Amino acid sequence: MNTRRPRPARPVEIALAPVDNAQLANLCGPLDENIRQIETGFDVVIRRRNERFSITGDQAQLTADALRHFYALARAPLSVDEIQLGLIELTNAPVRRIGAAETAHDGPQLVTRKSELHGRTPRQVAYLKAIQEHDITFGIGPAGTGKTYLAVASAVDAFERDLVQRIILTRPAVEAGERLGFLPGDLTQKIDPYLRPLYDALYDLMGHDRVAKLYEKHAIEIAPLAFMRGRTLNHAFIILDEAQNTTPEQMKMFLTRIGIGAKAVVTGDVTQIDLPRGHKSGLKEAVDVLHDVRGIAFTEFRKEDVVRHPLVARIVEAYENRQQTT
């Protein structure tokens, strides 16, 4: 039998115009770092000679469109962050007008210290809209999809607009490989590492000094989930992070804390449960029990929504593929 190997796809060739050496340098970045980011993001090989680019790979045409798009933006130096975030947006919504310097961003515009903050993928935009339109919203999906960060951004936005009087961030202090008893300090110091991602998001969106002042005034509260028992939380924006590590009893307790004028967001990844073997996840049960309850919204993120280093989406995909084959 004569079996021929399929011929490799021909490279896509483009020439960027008008030629501007400074603009080309901004596009490529120091030591061509931006080009390497684009190669990694689209899994292609890019070769360049001056303003001419040769692209090989399954997504060569999309890469060519992306190069034209970034070139139009390269009148000023482009950082690696701008390239990585741009790759995510282009992957989810390819450029409509080649070379357009502006990209229209749908969805809510949030009032935070980061004026450019917005949903980068269609599901992120839907998530932000759901948070604004519902009193309880669940954001479920893999790491890096922006579940927690966008929830905190929405809380900051509501606080800045005087829609709520307090921001309350909480998560279960479930041990994931380390024992609380071996950590130094008192109880507050022991649980602080578990709450660090929430602090980081707040600092990024409001600044250290403002967070510190609001924390002193109790306008911002960050506490373990166990501290929520017995309370009624009025006029507050409450976020329960890492909700996959709640028990069904804890989840019910949290959801029944919500008072007048309050809004709650529950985030978690059901593939990363650290509960002891045999314990059911409160997040999993809540999805089953509450899915048809009017007034509660659910957004389920996927690997395409990962807003981190381009390799993170491939790592998530690789683990998903392994789980399907075992």
pLDDT value at residue 134: 95
Same domain, 69 and 210: no
pLDDT value at residue 203: 92
Please state, as a whole number, how many other Cβ atoms lie within 10 Å of the Cβ of residue 36: 15
Six-digit token string for 232 = 């009624």
Six-digit token string for 87 = 């790759």
pTM: 0.71
Q: Is 68 domain-assigned? A: yes
Same domain, 188 and 279: yes
Element (H, E) at 154: helix 147-160
From CA 222, how far away is CA 150, in angstroms rounded?
17
Beta bridge partners of 268: 140
Q: Is 285 domain-assigned? A: yes
Secondary structure of residue 270 in the 3-state scheme: coil
Element (H, E) at 120: none
Same domain, 202 and 321: yes
pLDDT value at residue 69: 92
Q: What is the tally of structural domains in the chain?
A: 2
Residues whose CB is less than 8 angstroms from the CB of residue 106 and which lie 6 or more positions away in sequence, other chains included: 119, 125
Environment class of residue 17 by beta-carbon count within 10 Å: exposed (0-12), middle (13-18) or buried (19+)?
exposed
Six-digit token string for 114 = 């980061």
Q: Is 7 domain-assigned? A: no
Same domain, 62 and 171: no
* CB-based contact 165:214 (threshold 8 Å): no
Give, in order, the Cα–Cα distances in Å from 131 to each of 73, 151, 244: 32, 8, 19
Q: Is 273 domain-assigned? A: yes
Rg for the chain, CA atoms, rounded: 23
Same domain, 203 and 294: yes
Q: Is 100 domain-assigned? A: no
Q: Is 56 domain-assigned? A: yes
Same domain, 185 and 272: yes
Same domain, 128 and 87: no
Among residues 92, 108, 134, the one where a domain terminates is 92
Among residues 47, 70, 92, the one where a domain terminates is 92
Look up the CATH number of the domain holding residue 22. Answer: 3.30.1370.10
Cis before residue 108, ω within 30 degrees of 0?
A: no
Look up the CATH number of the domain holding residue 256. Answer: 3.40.50.300
pLDDT, averaged per 10 consecutive residues of the chain (326 residues), comes to: 59 92 94 91 91 93 92 90 81 48 59 79 91 96 89 95 94 59 53 77 92 94 86 94 94 94 95 87 95 93 77 76 78
- Residues 254-287 as b/e (b if ≥16 CB within 10 A, e otherwise) read bbebbeeebbbbbbbbeeebebeeeeebbbbbbb
Same domain, 127 and 88: no
From CA 208, how far away is CA 139, in angstroms rounded?
26
* CB-based contact 151:267 (threshold 8 Å): yes
* CB-based contact 127:137 (threshold 8 Å): yes
Among residues 45, 70, 92, the one where a domain terminates is 92
pLDDT value at residue 161: 93
From CA 299, how far away is CA 126, in angstroms rounded?
8
Give the structural domain span for 177.
Answer: 122-325
From CA 150, how far away is CA 139, in angstroms rounded?
10
Q: Is 103 domain-assigned? A: no
Q: Is 112 domain-assigned? A: no
Residues whose CB is less than 8 angstroms from the CB of residue 176 and which lie 6 or more positions away in sequence, other chains included: 274
